[in-house]
Amino acid sequence: MRRKVLRDVVNTLCEIFAGYRRVPDDQRFLALGNGTLSVNLFTSEAIFNEVQLPSLQIANELSIFFLSRLEAFHIAKSDLKKAEVKVDCVVGLDKEFNRRFVDYHIASSIETDEVTYVAKTQSSSL
């Protein structure tokens, strides 16, 4: 059962970031520019291009979801080696509407002693 739960969690983490819960942080990502975001799901710590970001809403949302799934299915944090969401952010310009946007290339992963579960997706702030 744990295998199915963790596989579902990594998929859902990508979908959460790709969905509406990221929208409040879109302007912040536009201001940060191109780079890589890394979210530690155990602590909700968000690092963008090796600089820690204070209070990123999407990082909190991802961490809350992740920890609630562990609790709901009685999976101990100590059973997991690593859990993170990494996002490559690429800022672009929509010439037709003369506005900037961010393309997000999202990858979530949960690592255990036996296996690493990975999911990937893409999204845009258009």
| Alpha-carbon gap, residue 46 to 64, rounded angstroms | 14
pLDDT band at residue 126 using 50, 70 and 90 as cut-offs: low
| For the chain, domain boundaries | 2-124
Smallest CA-to-CA distance from 22 within 6, 5, 46, 50 is with 46
Stated pTM of the model? 0.92
pLDDT digits 0-9 by tens, 16-74: 999 988 988 999 999 999 999 999 999 999 999 999 998 899 999 999 999 999 999 99
Of the chain, the percentage scoring pLDDT greater than 70 comes to 98
